[in-house]
Every structure is written in C-alpha cells, then in structure tokens.
Amino acid sequence: MDGWRVAEHFEAMNGQLHVDGVNVVEGTARFGTPLFIFSEKRLRRNIAEIQQAFQLTRQPSRIFYTSKANSNLAILELVRSTGVDVEVNSGGELFKALEAGFSPSQIVFNGVAKSERELHEAIERGIFCINVDSVFELERLIDIANQLQKRATIALRMVPGITSGSHSGLETGTHTSKFGMEDQALLDCYRKAVEHSDAVNLIGLHMHIGSQTTELYRYQSAFKRLIMIAAWCFDETAHAISHLNIGGGLPVPYVQHQVEGLPSDSFKMLSANLMPSEVIPATIGLLQNEDFRVEVAAVSSRFVNILDSLEIFMEPGRRIIADSAILLTTVHNMKQRQSGDQWLMVDAGFHTLLNAFIYNWYYQLIPASKLDQPASYPYKIGGPLCDSGDEFHDSEHLHRLPDYHHLPEGMRDGDVLALLNVGAYTLDQMTQYNGHPRTGAVLIRENGELVEIRARESYQDLIRQDKRLGVDD
C-alpha cells in the first residue's frame, strides 16, 4: 500500500492526497470526478532524465515524444517547450502536433496503414521523416510524391525479431506482429527507394520492440540487430543513411512492491524500472565499443566509417507521461454480497480507463481522502457501466489482476479514490459509452496553479456529431 509514497511529488497532509503541494481532493469540488490530474513538474523531470541520459554518449541524438501516449494540446505544448520533437501515428495526430506548435521539421510519422490522404498531407507539409512500413507503402508514397512534384524524406521500419518481455498486446518487434519489414523485404524496399531517389530521400532505418520492455539485454539485442541490418543494406547498395530510430518502450514502475494477488509475471512487467541512464549507454554506447565495431566490419567495413556520424533517434511516450498523472474517482454506491465481498461502485470505468480492461492493466488504487487510515480491508471495485466487465479486478479469470483492492475499512459514499500512473494511453482512449460524457483533465503548473487542460464534456456533446432524421410521430 505504501508504494505510492516513493513518488516524491506525492504526499499525505491531513489524511488527503497532495500532488506537488496541491490538495487534489479539494480540487474535485471545483472540477468534479472522474478527473485526471497531471503534474508539469513530473513531466519535465521525466524528459530531463532522458535528455541527460543521451548526454552520457558522444553520439548525436534526437528525442521524439510518442504523441499516441497522450496527444492533449497542452501536454504537446509542454513537451515542445522542453526541446523535444514529436512522433505521430495518424493524420489527426499530425494535425494536433502542428496545432501545438511543432514545426514540420520536428515530426516523424509512423503507422502500418497510412491512407493516401495522410501520406499526401505529410508530404505536402514537408515533415521531417515518414517511416515506411512495407514495399507497397513505399510504392504508394512514390506515386504521391511524383503527383505532388515533391521529394518525401523517409526511413524504413524493420522487424528486429525481439520480444519486449511485457504484455502480448504490446509486442511490436516480432515476426508475428503486424509491424515493419523482414530482412529481404527491407532490402528490396531499400533498393527501390534508392532507385527512386527523385521521389524519396532515404535517410534512416526504424525499429520498435514494444512497450514496457523489462530487461536490458532485449534493448541491446535489438540495437545490435538494427546496426547489422543497416550495415548489410549499406554494403548491398552503397547508399548511406544518416540516422537510426530505436523506437521507445522505456518502462514505468506501475508498482513498487509486490501486491497481494498480483501474479509474479504481471509484477515483473509492472515493476520494471530500467532507467534511461542504463538503456541508452548500453545500446548507443556500443557504437564506440571496439569489439562491436569489429563485428560490424565483418558485415560491411565501409559502414564502420559512418558509425560515429549516425544520429540516433528515440521515441519515448509512456516513460514521459505515465507517472505524471492520477485519476480521481468518487464512490457512489456500496453493497455487501453473501460471499462476504464488499463492493464499492465508482464513477470511473472502462469508458475512462480503457487499458485497465482491454489489457487487464493494474493501476495502483489509494484512498485519496483517507490516507491517514490503514488500508487493510479488501474491496471489489466496480465502475458505473451496464457491463459486467466494468470491474477493477480479474473479472474474466485471466490470472493477471488481484481480486481485491485494499482500502480503509468503512469506506463511504463520497470518498475519493486515486488511481496512479494513468497519464499514458488514457485521455485518447476515453469513450462516451452508456451516455457518459468524457471526463476532464487539469494540470498542476510548476507554480502550483491548477489549470484545466481538457474540458469535461456535457450531455450536449453526446449528440453533437449525431444527425437527426426529423421523423414525425
């Protein structure tokens, strides 16, 4: 239960949760619940941590924030203010990045199913790089570039064949995933890009092994594979690239201590805490390792000569934003079952926190309004939706989540709970299911000011996109 105290921006004062010195329970009187609360200090600290880790190497580098983790305009503006660039995964995310003030030269575009319209917009805008996912996509991109009489800057996404060691739904670097190109297809794509250099400017290779990666050797293995493939393609074509994009996947410690009922494999994934200062030197640092350079030279002696000038890109998302936010939710109903189970019904459900349900993701839950009381009583927590899967435990018996959350005995209607580390993949995944307007979000500025960064929707917003038939009775 006390694992939440590890986060230095949390503290309990008079039994209530404070974030960066602000009483967030009192904030619910102003903004209501459910309510996401973000910390500007924490977000900036997370970015600085990655920037400082890159300074441990001599390699030129750039950081591209993965906007799919959280594409709120205020969050994007904060990220931009730190000097970090941005990665997008759709035309909509491209639009939002530009709206947030990123220049086209700061944008990388990923995705496995980019539409003609999206490619057209990316080329027309002149963004820094489009990461191509297949030979087919390259051919489509060449056609569009020729139509526009513009030259598109591209990188090619490879399949490293490395698992992340996390959740199966987060594996993006295996041969069974939908992402990237295997070796021969990649080389074919590389050659075609060189042949059509009037339409496309091939500047790099890209990979990503998945999110919440648990162990250092997985990063190292994937990075070595990326270098060797780059050397092979260079040796086969004599075309030099200028950068390698190693993707993201840096983990966040969602739990600090073992949780009763949490399976050991889930705990291993959710407690992963590889630091950027460990991962970056252990991967990018290999470029200065003489033994490794000898291995590269065995594939292409000429490629070794450009290793020092290669710019390395990283695309962190979860590591930047996840632990910068909490979700406050209020108890609205209670019931006791014959089994002895005590239920608390809250106003947050899978319409608010979808990852908790589609991935059976564990978010630590604490009694934000009763932190001065021992959290020793087991409760089952249910959301407000008319759906039996809307429960914050292992409702499908998949053995991934605890059956209970431990809170103070005697929880009551109106008590406020907080779910921790909810900044990533939450705001963007909310729905209006069961007629629930999507909830709001606020940000605690560095000076302690609490500002709204996402307005809570109204009932009118539930029908804003609907069209009436005008049928008479």
Q: What is the pLDDT of residues 126-138, one digit of tens each?
A: 999 999 999 999 9
Tell me: pLDDT of 287 over 90. Answer: yes
Rounded CA gap, 19 and 299, in Å?
Answer: 52
Closest CA to 321 of 3, 10, 39, 8: 39
Rounded CA gap, 165 and 265, in Å?
Answer: 10
Tell me: pLDDT of 283 over 70. Answer: yes
**For the chain, what percent of residues have pLDDT higher than 90?**
81
Section 135-155 average pLDDT: 97
Name 312's bridge partners.
61, 244
Section 20-44 average pLDDT: 97
> What confidence tier does 170 reach under pLDDT thresholds 50, 70, 90?
low
Q: What is the pLDDT of residue 178?
A: 83
> What confidence tier does 361 reach under pLDDT thresholds 50, 70, 90?
confident
Q: What is the pLDDT of residue 389?
A: 87
Closest CA to 78 of 89, 93, 91, 67: 67
Phi-psi region of 313 (alpha: psi -120 to 50; beta: other; left: phi over 0): beta
Section 346-358 average pLDDT: 90
Tell me: pLDDT of 1 over 50. Answer: no
Rounded CA gap, 343 and 196, in Å?
Answer: 63
> What confidence tier does 407 reach under pLDDT thresholds 50, 70, 90?
very high
Section 52-61 average pLDDT: 94
Tell me: pLDDT of 186 over 60. Answer: yes
- What is the model's pTM? 0.95
Residue 388 structure tokens: 């039996």
> What confidence tier does 423 reach under pLDDT thresholds 50, 70, 90?
very high
Residue 63 structure tokens: 């950081």
Candidate from 148-152, 186-190, 254-258, 448-452 with smallest mean pLDDT: 254-258
Q: What is the pLDDT of residue 397?
A: 63
Candidate from 203-212, 255-264, 304-313 with smallest mean pLDDT: 255-264
Residue with tokens 């009187």: 29
Name 109's bridge partners.
88, 130
Tell me: pLDDT of 437 over 60. Answer: yes
* Contact between 393 and 402 (Cβ < 8 Å): yes
Tell me: pLDDT of 175 over 80. Answer: no
Residue 254 structure tokens: 């969602």
Q: Which domains does the chain have, with CATH numbers?
A: 2-39+322-462 (2.40.37.10), 110-316 (3.20.20.10)
**Cα distance between the two ends of the chain:** 58
Section 438-442 average pLDDT: 97
| Mean pLDDT, the chain, integer | 93
Question: Which strand (E) or helix (H) includes residue 157?
Answer: strand 152-157
DSSP β-ladder status, 416-420 and 365-366: antiparallel
Residue 203 structure tokens: 């500047």
Q: What is the pLDDT of residue 467?
A: 94
Q: What is the pLDDT of residue 8?
A: 74
Q: What is the pLDDT of residue 6?
A: 57
Q: What is the pLDDT of residue 3?
A: 58
DSSP β-ladder status, 16-19 and 10-13: antiparallel
